[in-house]
Amino acid sequence: MANVAVVGAQWGDEGKGKIVDWLSERADIVVRFQGGHNAGHTLVIDGVTYKLSLLPSGVVRRDTLSMIGNGVVIDPWALMKEIDDIRGKGVDVTPDSLLVADNAALILPLHAELDRAREEARGAVKIGTTGRGIGPAYEDKVGRRAIRVCDLADLDYLDERIDGLLVHHNALRRGLGAPEIDKAALSASLRELAPRLLPFAGNIWKRLDDARRGGDRILFEGAQGAMLDVDHGTYPFVTSSNTVAGQAAVGSGMGPGAVGYVLGITKAYTTRVGSGPFPTELTDEIGNLLGERGREFGVVTGRKRRCGWFDAALVRQAVKVGGINGIALTKLDVLDGFEEIKVCTGYRCQGRDYDYLPPMPRLQADIRPVYETFEGWRESTQGARSWAELPATAIKYIRRIEELIEAPVALLSTSPERDDTILVRDPFAD
């Protein structure tokens, strides 16, 4: 049985939460391996909506162990609030059901403050961050200044870590005209938090190694999407971590051989939040209709998402870069009723054709999509649970997408509900 990594194949918001939740019924462990609480997942189970940010989507499964890996940057206050919120909906989260990597870096209030100050200073050329401190926290991690979960267990050492961190941050704040950080207040808040967080802390990599040797199925859950990857995305309008499947191993403490099957999640159309290039964006009535039907608002921020036609060239690029074996196609029902549907097959810019999105920002801003047009379908696909329930023109659309992105459809989602899913090929069986 293969361990499965679930990653976004667009700009995030593809519906990974539902797919991970659906697959977690077949998994023993679900691991978040990158990102922070800027990533949002929505699950709808028996009419109850769960909005998760840091918690793995498998947390709603009683018999599934959830883990937050070392590749995640953790806002401990946000995590505790999320645990309290989901407990209020009847989900029991305990140290027996959730394990947090003791070597994961923390997001502190100073990170969010710096994130927002920098974004404000950029003026009209904003990156489009959520302002939650994810980028600055990753900077401190790479700069070897970060405070980690395990540091909360050694309070004397914690004070040393805070001193080293503030040398850097107070210098930045002076340059931005902001007041310096009160060390005593920061230390006190972390000391108060420690007894709540530490019971969940543990050695992720060893636990996963034991599980793998024991034959347990592991599901790796990514955040954001391939086009937000810090290396392979639309830089600089990207997140601060690697979002592709290779990070699943690094961000959980396992070797690359631990990932057997990579499932890329993609909508039947395209959305993006924040700034940056978007070749197939529609700013007309069709774009608004896609947004309304798809309820395209950010889970974490509430920001309206930009909408456009499916970009096969972009997803094909994500397939190649991310080693995607198959895709889960979501929100097919949003396209119900359109007389015609378009798919981007490539790009044209400055007299040249491209079958990929070039990395140069000036080209990305000027690029134009090349479309292939399809006949739409009038019948409803919402809630379909078998191929037999799908209109012939919808199946034709799906098959053409498979050809264009050079990857098969392994799952098909036709509504936010957990059971409205068509399994074409079980990723765990590969």
The residues annotated as belonging to the active site are: 13, 41
Cα 117 to chain centroid distance, Å, stands at: 24
Question: What is the identity of the amino acid at 183?
Answer: K
With beta carbons less than 8 A apart as the criterion, state whether 273 and 306 touch: yes
With beta carbons less than 8 A apart as the criterion, state whether 264 and 8 touch: yes
β-strands 409-413, 310-311 pairing: unpaired
Question: What is the identity of the amino acid at 113?
Answer: E
Q: How far apart, in whole angstroms, are the C-alpha atoms of residue 212 and residue 112?
A: 36
Question: What is the identity of the amino acid at 281?
Answer: E
Short-list 169, 198, 213, 247, CA closest to 95 = 198
Q: How far apart, in whole angstroms, are the C-alpha atoms of residue 259 and residue 414?
A: 27
What is the 8-class DSSP label of residue 131? S
Burial classification of residue 344, based on how many CB atoms lie within 10 Å of its CB (0-12 exposed, 13-18 middle, 19 or more buried):
buried
β-strands 340-349, 368-375 pairing: antiparallel
Instruction: Report the alpha-carbon angle 394-399-402, nearest 5.
Output: 130
Q: H helices within 25-154, ranges in order? A: 76-87, 109-121, 134-142
Q: How far apart, in whole angstroms, are the C-alpha atoms of residue 129 and residue 296?
A: 17
Count of helices and strands (H, E) across the chain: 12, 18
Tell me which residue has tokens 């806002």.
Answer: 75
Two structure tokens written together for 217: 């199925």
Q: How far apart, in whole angstroms, are the C-alpha atoms of residue 227 and residue 47?
A: 32
- Element at 372 (helix H, strand E): strand 368-375
Short-list 93, 12, 7, 8, CA closest to 50 = 93
